[in-house]
Amino acid sequence: MEYIADKDRYNSMEYKRCGSSGILLPKISLGLWHNFSDSTVFENSRDMARVSFDLGITHFDLANNYGPPPGSAEENFGLILKKDLKPYRDELIISTKAGYDMWPGPYGNWGSRKYLISSCDQSLKRLGLDYVDVFYHHRPDPDTPLLETMTALDYIVRSGRAMYIGLSNYYLPEKAKEAFAILKDLGTPCLLHQVKYNMFDRRVENGLLDLHDSENIGVVTFSPLEKGILTNKYLNGIPNDSRAKKDGRFLKPDDITDDVVSRVLKLNSIAQSRGQTLAQMSLSWNLRHKSVSSVIIGASRSSQIKDCIGALENSEFSKDELDLIDKIVK
């Protein structure tokens, strides 16, 4: 059956400006890291993409190495675009990245001009697109000159392969500031910086968020639920269908310690007093910062996406709530 998007899709979603740019992002974006690969059920991935767009989620975030195998998430999303979302292309913000190991040899990793432009071309082919809206450098390269990496990103925009440039995982404020300055001088300013941020991982509070405020650059955060720990999933043990049980690479059973569960139970009590699930409160906590334009969620089924949208219904925190959260997690 032909997919027709919900005519009311923009009524419930809230959108936020990225720094001083002309771009608005949905406060909740969908990340395609784990559940759009060849190891997942395509029709489930397709359903999540369609449900997301019906809810007003216009931003879909990818990377060249998302899978497994690497590249498969882009290929599968490209198929979803072809089957369902292509008529709505101009309503979508599609982002992808390059910076991690992608193919053998010395040119398939990090931040050289050759790698970034070649990777962008490969991503466009997998997605079946002429351009992406945002192309990110996925992580700093300690060996390639920063000027080479930034001029490659500038060229990707000027050649029509991408509309905007983003950086990801540039956690040292001085490194991020230098990159922002180079891109600004080149005439292709950084639109977004994508970083990990949640109640347990707060390293961006050590000067980085303040830098974004002063530079007027939007922040997109990922892992707001700390791989599922900041949900009600692990309150009563480790479920057999959980990532900690099935995956073991990014989240291990040993990560779910008694101390972690104790803290999560206390956070869950605060969420309940706010009329939210813990996942919803975790997203609201992320969005409270003025520089955070959007929070990227991962999901394994559409019901989780619908639950996350509930975070928008109560995004304000009292000082007492924030102080109590700090006391629990710190």
Q: Could you read off the pLDDT of 196-228 as tens digits, one per residue?
A: 999 999 999 999 999 999 999 999 999 999 989
pTM, entire model: 0.95
Q: What is the mean pLDDT of residues 228-249?
A: 73
Q: What is the mean pLDDT of residues 115-124?
A: 98
Angstrom distances, CA of residue 314 to CA of 30, 276, 295? 20, 8, 15
Six token digits for residue 260: 């972690």
Q: What is the mean pLDDT of residues 117-129?
A: 98
Q: Could you read off the pLDDT of 59-89 as tens digits, one per residue?
A: 999 999 999 999 999 999 999 999 999 999 9
Q: What is the mean pLDDT of the chain?
A: 95
pLDDT at 239 over 90: no
Q: Could you read off the pLDDT of 247-256 as tens digits, one per residue?
A: 656 677 777 8
For position 241, what pLDDT does the model report? 63
Q: By C-alpha distance, which of 264, 166, 141, 265 is closest to 221?
A: 166
Q: Which residues contact 317 (CB under 8 A, 6 or more apart)?
A: 284, 285, 288, 325
- Eight-state DSSP code of residue 84: I
For residue 285, the surrounding DSSP H or E stretch is helix 278-287
Q: Count Cβ neighbours within 10 Å for each residue of 188-200 and write b for 16 or more, e otherwise.
A: bbbbbbbbbbbbb
Distance from C-alpha of 320 to C-alpha of 313, rounded to nearest angstrom: 19
Distance from C-alpha of 98 to C-alpha of 152, rounded to nearest angstrom: 12
Token pair 């009329």 in the structure block, residue: 275
For residue 137, the surrounding DSSP H or E stretch is strand 132-137
Domains of the chain (ranges; CATH) run: 15-226+279-315 (3.20.20.100)
Distance from C-alpha of 258 to C-alpha of 64, rounded to nearest angstrom: 36
